DNA sequence: TGCCTTTAATTGGTCAACCAATAATATTTT
DNA sequence: AAAATATTATTGGTTGACCAATTAAAGGCA
């Protein structure tokens, strides 16, 4: 889902919509304090919980800042931009499988590229260990999960926690599609070698080799997602 | 912050830690139902709200799935992987400025590359409009915000909602660093032309030109972030 | 005994009351 | 009149109680 706040709850999105309208009508000026949680809840006939959820989501995206026992203020950017941001947030719900995979491909390639530059001996050691663990579980149901760990170690070696977190966010979404679409049920023997090639490239500090190896490694998933799209 | 749930609240992280321990001790098997919210709250002497926050965060990362009036189940992956994931989530707090900028650079370059392939006439029209709006506000405090909108239009044209959302998430974090580090207070005249070059490249469907133009456009920010890192 | 119905207990979702900290107002003092 | 203090009202944070749906258990019937 990627949206930390399930929009199944219509009450929360109702609050967001209301704030959107308030901005539109000019009743809520950018940079100003927004209505108290209680007041807003009463006006919209919803529980304060939903208002707080909406505020929390907006705070996550840096649109509002809440001060304890004082109130919440909305970002001091022009109302057009604010509306766009809130609109985007409300639209975040279900991402299409292809976009998820496409993004993962991008992040994984950059992740391994940075890993080539920044991985130390300890990282490479961990990588080899993860790969060994992967091989040991190649014919077990844990294979998919071990593969995930392998990629996580690469992300760790990239020394970029933001990319690492983003991969952390989208991977579960992709995995959930695996199940429904019945992908990856039968492992390909080529996967074994692909991991090894990536390790060798990182150890040799050859980013070009590592990136192309990663692209190849994820190519099957990519083409699969492309087919699903049609 | 990027973490939707502020970890300032120690109660929530206390719950996460406890779940981590339960997995470690083997009392919580992957794929099984995890304790009821009430029970967990009582055991840890914290409000149920905090337990619910912790569960919501774990659900965001796809680690648990909550079923109304039924309970929550934890992902059916091996306990080592689960612990790693929870550990990662707990560590998500403050990203360093350089990682944020580096990631933004990556996403923006990919975003504009895809935009070259997928933008339609309407997108290009919107892009020109956004640029005009940017120029009109070049000497106003709204400049930064108009620049943000310009990039958002590009992300929209990339037809990849995941990338769009990720940029949406990290941009506020970067902007907040702007203020403290006093970056971008004086606009450079080159910015005007850089935007135009990007537009032209997209219109000409030249992804290589667009990507390099984007890299150049963000280079000042990138080198600035690099300096800060040292 | 085995299956179905009925009942009770448990669960997550929701709401309203309470708490401490803050902000605004009224009061006193200089 | 102005400033400092005391008081009241408002705020987000937290908690416990209630709700409807689900699940488990008990009871009845074949």
List the A71-74 sheet strands across, edge first.
Answer: A33-34, A71-74, A64-67
Return the pLDDT at A171. 85
Residue of A nearest to B156 (CA): A88
Distance CA B151, CA B130 (A): 9
Task: Say how many C-beta atoms besides its own lie within 10 A of residue B120's C-beta.
Answer: 10
Q: How far is B10 from chain A (nearest CA, A)?
A: 16
Distance CA B109, CA A130 (A): 31
Sign of CA dihedral B204, B205, B208, B210: positive
A185 touches strand D (CB under 7 A): no
A212 CA → D22 C1’, Å:
51
- Return phi, psi of residue A67, to 5°: -110, 125
B48 touches strand D (CB under 7 A): yes
Query: In a mutagenesis test of the B interface, which of A9, A62, A93, A146 is the best target, namely the one with the most B β-carbons within 10 Å?
Result: A62
| Nucleotide in closest CA–C1' contact with A37 | D12
Question: In this prediction, what percent of chain B has a pLDDT beyond 90?
Answer: 66
Tokens, residue A182: 């019945």
- Are the Cβ atoms of B149 and A80 closer than 8 angstroms? yes
The tens digit of pLDDT for each residue in B122-179 reads 999 999 999 999 999 998 878 888 898 999 999 999 999 999 999 988 887 888 777 6
The tens digit of pLDDT for each residue in B180-221 reads 776 766 777 787 899 999 999 999 999 999 999 999 999 999
Does pLDDT of B7 surpass 50?
no
Tokens, residue A73: 């203020």
Does pLDDT of A219 surpass 50?
yes
B137 CA → D29 C1’, Å:
82
Strand C, nucleotides covered by protein (CB < 7 Å): 10-17, 20-23
Out of B1, B84, B170, whose CB is closest to A152?
B84
| Nucleotide in closest CA–C1' contact with A6 | C13
- Least confident stretch, A17-21, A98-102, A178-182: A178-182
Out of B3, B5, B160, whose CB is closest to A103?
B160
Tokens, residue B68: 């109304």
**CA-wise closest residue to B46 among B14, B4, B19:** B14
Contacts 24+ apart (CB under 8 A), A34-42: A34/A64, A34/A71, A34/A72, A34/A73, A34/A74, A36/A71, A37/A72, A40/A15
What mean pLDDT value characterizes chain A?
89
Using only the alpha carbons of chain B, give its radius of gyration: 22
Q: Can you tell me whether residue A41 is helix, strand or coil?
A: helix
Question: Angle A79-91/A10-24 helices, nearest 10 degrees?
Answer: 160
Cα angle A4, B168, B160; round to 5: 90
Return the pLDDT at A177. 79
Q: Is A56 in contact with A4 (CB distance < 8 Å)?
A: no
Question: In this prediction, what percent of chain B has a pLDDT beyond 70?
Answer: 93
- Are the Cβ atoms of B60 and A1 closer than 8 angstroms? yes
pLDDT band at B230 (very low <50, low <70, confident <90, very high): confident
Angular region, A167: left φ>0, alpha ψ -120 to 50, beta rest: alpha
Q: Is B56 in contact with A52 (CB distance < 8 Å)?
A: no
- Are the Cβ atoms of B168 and A89 closer than 8 angstroms? yes
- Return phi, psi of residue B20, to 5°: -55, -45
Q: What is the pTM of this model?
A: 0.86
Beta bridge partners of B65: B73
pLDDT band at B9 (very low <50, low <70, confident <90, very high): low
Chain A residues 56 to 85 whose Cβ lies within 7 Å of strand D are: 66-72
Please, which residues have CB within 8 angstroms of residue B209's CB and are 6 or more apart in sequence?
Answer: B197, B200, B201
């Amino acid at each position: 889902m990627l949206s930390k706040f399930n929009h199944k709850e219509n009450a929360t999105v109702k609050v967001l919509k209301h704030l959107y309208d308030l901005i539109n009508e000019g009743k809520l000026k950018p940079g100003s304090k927004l209505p108290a949680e209680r007041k807003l809840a009463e006006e919209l006939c919803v529980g304060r919980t939903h208002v707080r959820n909406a505020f929390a989501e907006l705070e996550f995206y840096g649109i509002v800042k809440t001060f304890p026992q004082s109130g919440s203020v909305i970002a001091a950017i022009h109302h057009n931009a604010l509306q766009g941001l809130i609109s985007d947030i409300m639209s975040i719900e279900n991402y299409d499988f292809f976009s998820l995979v496409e993004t993962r491909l991008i992040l994984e390639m950059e992740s391994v590229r940075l890993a080539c530059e920044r991985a130390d001996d300890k990282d490479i050691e961990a990588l080899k260990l993860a790969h060994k663990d992967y091989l040991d579980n190649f014919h077990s149901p844990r294979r998919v999960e071990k593969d995930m760990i392998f990629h996580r170690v690469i992300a760790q070696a990239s020394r970029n926690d933001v990319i690492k977190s983003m991969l952390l966010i989208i991977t579960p979404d992709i995995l959930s599609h695996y199940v429904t679409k019945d992908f990856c049920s039968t492992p390909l023997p080529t996967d074994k070698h692909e991991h090894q090639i990536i390790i060798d490239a990182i150890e040799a500090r050859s980013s070009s080799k590592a990136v192309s190896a990663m692209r190849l490694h994820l190519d099957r998933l990519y083409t699969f997602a492309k087919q699903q799209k049609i």
